[in-house]
Structure 1
């Protein structure tokens, strides 16, 4: 299924430039556009709380309005349309906020004093629920704040991608005929959130109110939003970033889980259609898990797209992924000639955790020198651009300046790195992790060229989204630290090496 020799491997799953983001397996995301984008406005209250209300639309569905206070008198809600396909997407992921990842915030997991707590699923199932809720509420309230949105805007970025797990979406029996249980995740206390027919409806909110607050800040600072369903019921890949690190996934073989996922996407469109620009149907579905998975995924993409369009708001774009199959697998898929939308592809460089099947790809990619990474990236731009021009819009996503997998728990809590040979299956070390992760004070000037060549790739097509905005102990993954350390320019359009691919 994978071939690192395919020309279009530049930004696509193992073919793309895996190492260019410090990871070897990659995944692509495709975005579908229908009509021009128009964003809905949001109101600003003077309260510090995050109330959510709904209004009944002509179709009988409810649309959410987020209200949140603003400490900045200069920030005003904005719904400026974005010129997709003309203006490059320059974005950053808000990883580890509303959907936990141990390597981004290791302290949250270390403080449990339980090595068996390896993901958000076990975070809820293996400790007292009140303790889990208290920790998560503090994290949701403090990890990403209005100050972060102000800094993101000041850095010249125009998009954020917000990962959310299905367990934080307050579906009720009115929204799906499938189970609405989110156990053992920590969904939060019963909160009044929906005003319908003159009375408040109660639901377990989890991170949902914090999502609404973030969407309000995005509008205030004129930042466009990609809302990413990062984890589906049953887990679509078994990675901890799906909520559940497991070798037995239950999404691809369960029609009930797939239906609930479509209903979740529909809920996004109904409740948040005016507050987000792009809805991503599912993050990193792992089609290599079974022979039938690719066909299941293709059908889900179509069902999810139809659900969003049926919700009535035709302005939202829809983002799908290549499922680790490579870009060629999506040639002419859902292009619908003559219809009012286009397809966009976003490539991912994330290293899958606990994925022995891809080690033969990952390790050779990790072994590249900085110069080899740059050469490989440059040699792939022409093919990538040609693909984007003749097939679907292409956005380079989830990439970073990390050239190794040395970050603590990048491959999962308690799991070592391929780089130094401490991973699940011992391999010949490529070197010591000393100096490759942690504080940027030890980083070389090569990080500047590594940043710039990947931006050059992204802007040769329809844009890029960096992973991630911040991380507790991993400066090589942090856009925020990149700005501070100087390997990421204060203006993302600045070029220190404008001819980086010409030499």
Structure 2
């Protein structure tokens, strides 16, 4: 229990606004009729028959809801009206999903216009977006973005495209911790908070349209990898170097689990921690375990928990968080072939063949350890998308970006490899369809897949939405124009 002076501290105006806004949003939704029972119980702990985790021995007893060790309880799927009300059978049914990238965590390559409109080239991520311009100006731009980038129509379109999951990245700065929730400073400055009510709205849209949700903590205090997709692009990430940052992240996870755990199917503890950095690698096992326990203690056994391989390879996580240490746990593996000269040097056939080589390792891991999902992958065979490597940075593909000065290769011109799909050649579109199908095949051999990303302003090869419009992504993701690519 916190000392009295901490428990009785006045709320900041921001936190007061967040609480009122959240209460108003939920009350308005709870009074909206048929959805009320389903959408307004944020901490429901369903006690129906449990889904079977193939890694749990037959006859093993499972803990009751709110136990400190995990159980695997049903999450919700859609009935004929689209409203979620029955279990999704993780480990049996295939996750087919898409990421809502660039919504609650800005990335310059997804929404370059937001950064260009600042008129300041030094604004390179969400951290500097709040740091280097007037706060009210930044908040106005972000609010407009939150209100318009993803709408309910997008959820309807995802459902119509045969998708059953969305993965929603969120930064720690959008989680409205109060002093009652943490012993650490609750200020997120220079980040601009305010996205939480929009997240709640998204969870209700997902439920109304029969789509399951994975909430992904995409950015932690201090940055867990130094990438702009963590919120802060820096060569000196501090998350793992400061134990308080790691502890603060656990408080963020507790808050999410306690307050909206009943609305979520999966909580991903942290996106892409940079295990290639020794300080990060040194803390990851303890962080995954402590994060797992924090979510279980706060939300009980219903919600599934996702961890990642931290760029260390899934085989580095054998026998970790398996039964009885953990239950209802998924491994998130990301599959891109564009961030090194070795990968870019592959021709289109070699990209396809390399994707196929991932199947044996992933299926072996998934069958012997924990459920495994390709949580991020795309159609892109190049790094040509504007600012993909960071605002103001070029591409390895055309030699405008050389992270290794000794590597002077140029693989081609970016030309019509990115931008509008209307300019893509027919052979390129045919490759994009084939590349989509082979990566889906990987996911279908394990527990599923989640494409990155639903939309992007000016990089159609990365956009599920534009892939549907242009035909290289099928309207039914189980359709195959190129069956048995890996046989």
Alpha-carbon distance in 2 for matches of 1:180, 1:207: 16
The one of the two structures with greater contact order (alpha-carbon pairs below 8 A, sep at least 6) is: 1
- Residue of structure 1 equivalent to 2:75: none
* Higher mean C-alpha deviation, range 275-284 or range 427-436: 427-436
- For residue 78 of structure 1, the aligned residue among 59, 76, 84 is 84
Alpha-carbon distance in 2 for matches of 1:171, 1:343: 26
Kept after mapping to 2: 8 A contact 1:120/1:244 = yes
Alpha-carbon distance in 2 for matches of 1:398, 1:43: 32
What SS does the corresponding residue of 2:441 show, helix, strand or coil? helix
- Residue of structure 2 equivalent to 1:25: none
- Residue of structure 2 equivalent to 1:90: 96
- Residue of structure 1 equivalent to 2:389: 411
- For residue 479 of structure 2, the aligned residue among 482, 494, 498 is 494
Kept after mapping to 2: 8 A contact 1:437/1:474 = yes
* Higher mean C-alpha deviation, range 124-133 or range 340-349: 340-349
Kept after mapping to 2: 8 A contact 1:42/1:77 = no
Kept after mapping to 2: 8 A contact 1:41/1:77 = no
- Cα RMSD of the aligned pairs, angstroms, is 2.5
Structure 1 residue 343: Cα displacement:
3.5
Alpha-carbon distance in 1 for matches of 2:178, 2:167: 26
Structure 1 residue 81: Cα displacement:
1.6
- For residue 303 of structure 1, the aligned residue among 290, 305, 309 is 290
What SS does the corresponding residue of 2:84 show, helix, strand or coil? coil
Identify if the C-alpha distance between structure 1 residues 340 and 133 changes in structure 2 by more than 3 Å, giving closer, same or farther: closer
- Residue of structure 1 equivalent to 2:113: 107
Alpha-carbon distance in 1 for matches of 2:41, 2:206: 19
- For residue 211 of structure 1, the aligned residue among 199, 203, 215 is 199
1:317 aligns with 2:323: no
1:344 aligns with 2:350: no
Alpha-carbon distance in 1 for matches of 2:399, 2:233: 22
Identify if the C-alpha distance between structure 1 residues 280 and 351 changes in structure 2 by more than 3 Å, giving closer, same or farther: farther
Aligned length: 418
Identify if the C-alpha distance between structure 1 residues 41 and 303 changes in structure 2 by more than 3 Å, giving closer, same or farther: farther
Flag the structure with higher strand content.
1
Task: Report 1:69-468 matches (<5 A).
Answer: 77-187=83-193, 206-290=194-278, 292-337=279-324, 341-349=327-335, 362-425=340-403, 426=405, 427-441=408-422, 442-443=424-425, 444=428, 445-468=430-453
Q: Deviations 1:455-489 (Å, cap 9, x if unpaired)?
A: 01110110000000000000000000000000000
Question: Structure 2: where are the runs of 5+ without partners?
Answer: 1-25, 34-38, 46-64, 67-79
- For residue 469 of structure 1, the aligned residue among 447, 454, 468 is 454
What SS does the corresponding residue of 2:159 show, helix, strand or coil? helix
What SS does the corresponding residue of 1:368 show, helix, strand or coil? coil
Structure 1 residue 295: Cα displacement:
2.6
Q: Deviations 1:157-208 (Å, cap 9, x if unpaired)?
A: 0000000000000000100111111001112xxxxxxxxxxxxxxxxxx100
Alpha-carbon distance in 2 for matches of 1:81, 1:41: 26
Question: Structure 1: where are the runs of 5+ without partners?
Answer: 1-39, 61-73, 188-205, 353-358
Structure 1 residue 78: Cα displacement:
2.1
What SS does the corresponding residue of 1:404 show, helix, strand or coil? coil
Structure 1 residue 146: Cα displacement:
0.2
Structure 1 residue 379: Cα displacement:
3.2
Alpha-carbon distance in 1 for matches of 2:315, 2:138: 43
Identify if the C-alpha distance between structure 1 residues 409 and 331 changes in structure 2 by more than 3 Å, giving closer, same or farther: same
Structure 1 residue 110: Cα displacement:
0.3
What SS does the corresponding residue of 1:238 show, helix, strand or coil? coil
Identify if the C-alpha distance between structure 1 residues 377 and 45 changes in structure 2 by more than 3 Å, giving closer, same or farther: same
Structure 1 residue 370: Cα displacement:
1.2
Identify if the C-alpha distance between structure 1 residues 385 and 351 changes in structure 2 by more than 3 Å, giving closer, same or farther: closer
Alpha-carbon distance in 2 for matches of 1:268, 1:56: 11
Structure 1 residue 322: Cα displacement:
1.2
Identify if the C-alpha distance between structure 1 residues 167 and 114 changes in structure 2 by more than 3 Å, giving closer, same or farther: same
